Amino acid sequence: MTADQRMTLADSIHTNGATPNPWWANAVVYQIYPRSFQDTNGDGFGDLPGITSRLDYLADLGVDVIWLSPVFRSPQDDNGYDISDYQDIDPMFGTLDDMDELIAEAHDRGLKVVMDLVVNHTSDEHAWFQASRDKDDPHADWYWWRPAKAGHEPGTPGAEPNEWGSYFGGSAWEYDPKRGEYYLHQFSKKQPDLNWENPEVRAAVYRMMNWWLDRGVDGFRMDVITLISKHVDANGELPGVGDSARDAGPIGPDGYSSPNPFCADGPRQDEFLAEMHREVFDGRDGYLTVGEAPGISAERNRTITDPANRELDMLFLFDHVEPGGGQSKWTAEPWSLAHLKRCLAGHQRAVRDRGWTSLFFNNHDQPRVVSRWGDDSSEEMRVLSAKAIALLLHMHRGTPYVYQGEELGMTNVYFDSLDQYRDLESINMYHQLTEAGVLSEEAMMDALKAISRDNARTPMQWDATKYAGFTASYAPTEPWIGTNPNKDVINVKKQLRDGDSVLAFYRRLIELRHTNPVVAAGDWAMLDEADPKVYAFVRTLREEGVGGGIDGSGEKRLVVVVNMSSGSAALPPETKDLLGLNMSGAIIGGASADRVLIGNYPAEQVAADLLFGKLAPWEAFAYEL
């Protein structure tokens, strides 16, 4: 389907709310982690020419947009999320010319290109930060500089302005001897937080964004964008700092308190986003904005994404991929389907009439979903569960995101030793939590196997050669991170030849988003919410012109049923009733294989299973009423 045809479908669909859908309402976005996607010069790092060389694969998969994790100039402390020059490409990835070529080649194939905007912080090597180290420089107030705690010698232990810990380990404050003060960094000490209270900071960011849009990019994924407005008091002060009346939060077993919630979704969040919209996006069209929004409620998501407020198109919420109850991800209880249902239902219900939501299970910070919630213990279960989880996600209302390799059912890597890890969060937290006695070394290794970000960052598996086709087998340098040994079984080349592959299944799901109005725009309602194994819901579209439901009401319904377990399960009562009541009279009490829109078992088996009210392991399908 061409980009034009897709637009026409989007134009013809109206949500149950009042606003006509913009182009991205039935688009699918593919996330690329450039370092691990395709290396073309044998240095062991993926690069921009590598992405360009794989555009045909992506166009063929059917996605509409590619989002690139950061490729800007960076010391690479946090794999590019620490940017030292926003208007240049890191030599590791190529040049600005390579970027221009990638954009042009993508556009030729009807693919849009979205870049990562990392503006809660810069690198400490950015010129703004270097200038800011001088109290007399015009950039002096561009970051969160604070003096040592009263009565303490600057730079000595315990002299930090407050007790906040960094998400990547250690204090969130770093002492700079040149300035004689501390700067705030919620992430690594090479990622100082920018001071968004300063209008010059904001203006500089908007100038840079306009420069990229003018160059041809189609929008931004905005890194931790909900951290830009901090909860300062009337004097502009942070809790626990100086003579602030507020303390900096409860101290955890590792000796630190969390900067969240003091640094998330502060009082000026909406103001900053609306200002950004005015300064950057007003008067443009065809772009996409998606904000990374840890800690944001479904209701706040509705406000921020309500088109009337002119802030952002959509956000990534994280409650569904995070443990509930404020637990740390390293020590969390095992995952539960009840938690997933509660979170996704919350997202869906909040944006029923206005606002929008993104749909994702994987990205470069999450473990592989088939290992996390599916079953990677055998090839048969891996394939079934990867498809089941994909169907579950893609049949919701919203804009789906596919993370590289997810479309193959790539799994966690299960590294055995700490020196195989590259991620600074994984390595720092290993030391911090084992040294503080929070976890034993063995328990921490298990935690890393289950949730380390590096699980998502191993080389893309193109084929079964030594480095999975990510880089040539004879390349002088090994890939920057180990290749998953299961590349022999799980790879693009193999799946392209198999009509029943996970890859083929994703292609079909993406096609349905583009061609089936109920999938794209239908209302969403949960079925059998309390069932511990089965996740079921119904999508309903009532609209003139696309009607023709079997009761003649002009209503189209899709029932989506997923057995989220490796055992069999009973078809739960609400789902059964809904299917039974609407069964075609011609096959009394039976189900028709023709009504199975998509499923991971043969349609005839789905129909038979419906008749007996039983679901096979990971059985998943969408059934048209």
Binding site for ligand GLC (CB under 6 A): 78, 81, 118, 187, 223-224, 292, 364-365
**Cα separation of 399 and 20, whole Å?**
15
What is d(CA 311, CA 555) in angstroms, rounded to the nearest whole number? 33
| Continuous segment of H or E residues that includes residue 561 | strand 555-563
Per-position b or e across 59-78, b if 16+ CB within 10 A of its CB:
bebbbbbbbbbbbbbbebbb
Angle between the N-to-C axes of helices 379-394 and 502-515, in degrees from 0 to 180, rounded to the nearest 10: 10
Q: Looking at beta carbons only, is 220 or 524 nearer to ligand GLC?
A: 220
Please, are residues 121 and 191 in contact by the beta-carbon 8 Å criterion? yes
Residue 470 in the binding site for Ca ion (CB under 5 A): no
Nearest-approach distance from CB 168 to ligand GLC, in angstroms: 7
| Interacting partner of 81 out of ligand GLC, Ca ion, none (Cβ under 5 to 8 A depending on kind) | ligand GLC
Smallest CA-to-CA distance from 145 within 185, 202, 200, 204 is with 185
Q: Which residue number has the CB closest to ligand GLC?
A: 81
Q: Which of 114, 144, 118, 117 is nearest to 129 (CA)?
A: 144
- Rounded to whole angstroms, the Cα distance separating 13 from 21 reads 7
The catalytic residue positions are 223, 292
Cis peptide before 334 (omega within 30 of 0): no
Q: How far is the CB of 41 from Ca ion (least distance, A)?
A: 4
Choice between 69 and 486, CB closer to ligand GLC: 69
With CB under 5 to 8 Å by kind, the binding choice for 39 among ligand GLC, Ca ion, none is Ca ion
- Interaction of residue 430 with Ca ion, rule CB under 5 A: no
Is residue 500 within 8 Å of 524, Cβ to Cβ? no
When CB distances are held under 5 to 8 angstroms depending on the partner's kind, the choice from Ca ion, ligand GLC, none that residue 224 binds is ligand GLC
Instruction: Verify binding: residue 98, Ca ion, rule CB under 5 A.
Output: no
- Start-to-end Cα distance in the chain: 26
Q: Report if residue 624 touches Ca ion, rule: CB under 5 A.
A: no
Closest by alpha carbon to 35, among 85, 64, 76? 76
Q: Quick one: DSSP state of residue 36?
A: G
Q: Give the residue carrying structure tokens 């690069």.
A: 47
- From Ca ion, ligand GLC, none, interface partner of 118 (C-beta below 5 to 8 A by class): ligand GLC
> CB atoms < 10 A from the CB of 158, how many?
10
β 219-222/112-117 pair status: parallel
Least distance between ligand GLC and beta carbon 71 (Å): 14
Give min distance, CB of 225 to ligand GLC, in A: 10
Binding mask 25-64 for Ca ion (x = CB under 5 A): --------------x-x-x-x-x-----------------
Interaction partner, residue 606 (ligand GLC, Ca ion, none; CB < 5-8 Å by kind): none
Q: What backbone phi and psi angles, to 5 degrees, belong to 359? A: -125, 120
Q: What DSSP character marks residue 237?
A: P
C-beta closer to ligand GLC: residue 186 or 412: 186
Q: Which residue has the tokens 């964008």?
A: 225
Nearer to ligand GLC, 67 or 505 (CB): 67
475 binds Ca ion (CB under 5 A): no
Identity at 10, one-letter amino acid code: A
Give the nearer residue to ligand GLC in terms of CB position, either 366 or 565.
366
For residues 76 and 486, which CB has a smaller minimum distance to ligand GLC in the complex?
76
Query: Which of ligand GLC, Ca ion, none does 210 bind, CB closer than 5 to 8 A by kind?
Result: none
Nearer to Ca ion, 41 or 297 (CB): 41
Binding at 365: pick from ligand GLC, Ca ion, none (beta carbon under 5-8 Å per type): ligand GLC
Q: Considering the complex, what minimum distance in angstroms separates the CB of residue 117 from Ca ion? A: 24
Min separation Cβ 260 and ligand GLC, Å: 12
| Joined tokens for residue 204 | 């500089």
Which three-class secondary structure state does DSSP give residue 524?
Answer: strand
User: Least separation, in Å, of the C-beta of 472 and Ca ion?
Assistant: 11
Nearest position to Ca ion, beta carbon: 47
Interface contacts to Ca ion, rule CB under 5 A: 39, 41, 43, 45, 47
